[in-house]
Structure 1
Amino acid sequence: MQRFNVRQIEAFRAVITLGSMTKAAELLGISQPAVSRLMLDFQEAVGFRLFRKSRGGAEPTDDARRLFEQVEKLFVGLDELNREVHAIKNLTSGSITVAAMGLYANGLLADIIARFRQRFPDIAIRLDSQPQERIAEWVASRRADIGIASLPISNSTLPVRELLRRPVLCVFPADHEFAACAEIHATDLADRPFVSFPRGTPFRFEIDTLFERAGIDRQLMTEATTHEAVCNLVAAGLGISIVSPYSPHLRRNPALAFRPFLPAISISLGMIADEGDLSVAAREFHQFVLDDIKNHVAGEAERPPATQ
């Protein structure tokens, strides 16, 4: 069997549907002899007779009618394909997977995703909470489109953009004596119960180094693996701690109070992505995150300082 082409199939569909090669030619914007030529070539390609002459025009054979059923299915599929292409381009269809440290998945990022969904309600988003060391791996292996993690990210072969850099906060029970202070200094924590992160984590190492160099001892009797768990322990009265500034949901806890900590320790938030290979939806989300944080920073600069 010879190969046939899309133009022949389009002409065949028009002739069967309209029952006339002349009408088919008008619909397709070509001459009637051109339609006849297409049908002859198509008939030769399929290897069986497609039409018989009749007074009313071109009458399809039984074989042609059976073939037409398959052609209709093909065009229905093409219509669906065109609709999906349009939906992807116009962001009314698509999906995004974001891998993020639990700290960001539960706080800042959740708010950003909510604002993104308000603008693009038809885009499906999956948020996977992963440890810091797995974020780059997930993006590189395409298990996630975008990764959000603390900087530096030592194991990433993909581009990393710094999104924010903010100083850490000191957290304590809302009824603590520190509530009267505008800021908390490292010396204020001397000999006080302190809720730590596990040994071996970069954040714990940085905090311990600061206190050791200053010669300040703390009572290190309690620790937890996440910022949320640390805050819960602080709220339960087990001590004071230093936590990330990127957890707005934690700062809504009325049992807790937060103040700037000095000397300042900053945490940088970064975004990992293979920017040249993102889907339309993921590329839009990537840019949305950049714009949203830029607007957030600009809004902070315009607002007068708020009391903690």
Structure 2
Amino acid sequence: MGELRDEISFKSLRAFHEIVTSGSVTEAARRMGMSQPAVSRMLAQLEQQIGFELFFRDHGRLVPTQDGILLFDEVDQSMGSVERVYTLIRDIGDYRVGQLKVVAPPSFSEGVLPDIVSAFLERFPRVHLSIDSRSIETSKAMIATRAADCGFVKLPLGRTDLHFEHIVSSATVCVLSAGHPLRSQRVLTPQKLRGHPLILLGLGRTSRAQIEAEFARAGVRPEVRLETHTVGSACALAERGLGVALVNEMLATPYLRAGGIVLPFEPTLTNEYSFVTSALSEPSRLTKAFLEITKAHFNTAGSPAAAAGSGARSTT
């Protein structure tokens, strides 16, 4: 294994990474400033060294094998760590340039983060900010190992290698169309939703488990018509009259359009989000500044979080 480690060059791993991310040897060669034959030879040498194929050829296309996909996940994180080293070298030389990598759930990144990022970059215009969306467990691992500087993760964390600071809570609400038969209700409960088609986020989420637990306690079988994986699509489907979407109000607010109605769901289900950093090292100056701006955003009266929980409302 020691000999194998010595033989594999960083450049060949980068070539493999570029081929997967770009989808072609030609584009990978362009990104690396090399010729296509040189990158092809580098890939062939890498496969020979490791003893298994990374791609199979499909009508001239390179498609990653299962082994290739497994290796790519690790190389992808390693490339991110190496890029952090290069960025640090540039920062030391300039003293004013920095990099901050943030991980957050997709709906949080799309609906909540833009205002925070805008305020941050106004204060630090030369900082390179990277926003990544990964699964919850991958996000936690990236923060703990400092592959990411910080992130927004839903509580509870369930890890001791992470430090968290609670930043915002938001209730689960019901989004429905203006013509829905339940539109005049003050609140919606599992009993009132009995027999009505529902739109829920995919299985495996904490919020989904909370919702199903409340329906079970009420002795009601939820009529799940549609499952989706983003809050935005759940709201859009509900506003078209395809069902009642049960979603996080803070995340849903940016996606609500004219004609939709938002009603509270009872019993109250609270979604709590925290700002997370690695517990194994001190956060950087930029990370602390990002937390400061995040707190200021959620303490502002006009923020989406401040508006959440204000009761039933219509977007007409």
Above 0.5 in TM-score?
A: yes
DSSP-derived class of the 2:290 partner: helix
Structure 2 partner of 1:211: 215
8 Å contact 1:104–1:247 — kept in the other structure?
A: yes
For residue 289 of structure 1, what is the aligned residue in structure 2? 294
- In structure 2, list runs of 5 or more residues that go unmatched: 1-89
Does the 8 Å contact 1:167/1:265 carry over to 2?
yes
Give yes or no for the alignment of 1:221 onto 2:231. no
Q: Which residue pairs with 1:141 in the alignment? A: 145
SS of residue paired to 2:192: helix
Matched, 1:199 2:235: no
Secondary structure at 2:186's aligned position in 1?
coil
One-letter identity of the residue aligned with 1:147: G
CA displacement at 1:124 relative to structure 2: 2.1
Tell me the CA shift for residue 236 of structure 1: 3.2
How far residue 307 of structure 1 moved from its aligned partner, in angstroms, is: 5.8
The offset of 1:132, in angstroms, is 1.4
Q: Which amino acid aligns with 1:241?
A: A
Q: For the structure 1 residues 178 and 113, does the alpha-carbon distance in structure 2 shift closer, same or farther, using more than 3 Å as the test?
A: farther
Match of 2:94 among 79, 84, 91: 84
Matched residue type, 1:206: Q
1:171-210 counterparts in 2 under 5 A? 171-210=175-214
Q: 2:264 aligns with which of 260, 263, 275?
A: 260
Deviation at 1:178, TM superposition (A): 3.4
Deviations 1:171-228 (A, max 9, x none): 1113323333333233221110011223333221111110111012332232112222
Once the two structures are TM-superposed, the CA of residue 140 in structure 1 deviates from its matched residue by 1.6
CA contact (8 A) 1:162 1:270 kept: yes
Matched, 1:237 2:247: no
Residue number among 113, 123, 126 corresponding to 2:127 in the alignment: 123
The structure whose Rg is larger is 1
The question of whether the paired residues in 2 share the 8 Å contact of 1:164 and 1:270 is answered with yes
Report whether the alignment pairs 1:159 with 2:163: yes
Question: CA shift at 1:298, angstroms?
Answer: 9.7
- Going from structure 1 to structure 2, the CA distance change for 1:307 and 1:198 (only over 3 Å counts) comes to closer
Distance 1:296 1:160, change over 3 A: farther
Q: Which residue is equivalent to 1:37?
A: none
**Aligned residue pairs: how many?**
222
2:130 maps to a residue whose letter is: R
Distance in 2 separating the partners of 1:214 and 1:126? 44
Cα–Cα, structure 1 residues 112 and 219, in superposed 2: closer, same or farther, change >3 Å? same
SS of residue in 1 equivalent to 2:251: coil
Q: Secondary structure at the match of 2:162?
A: coil
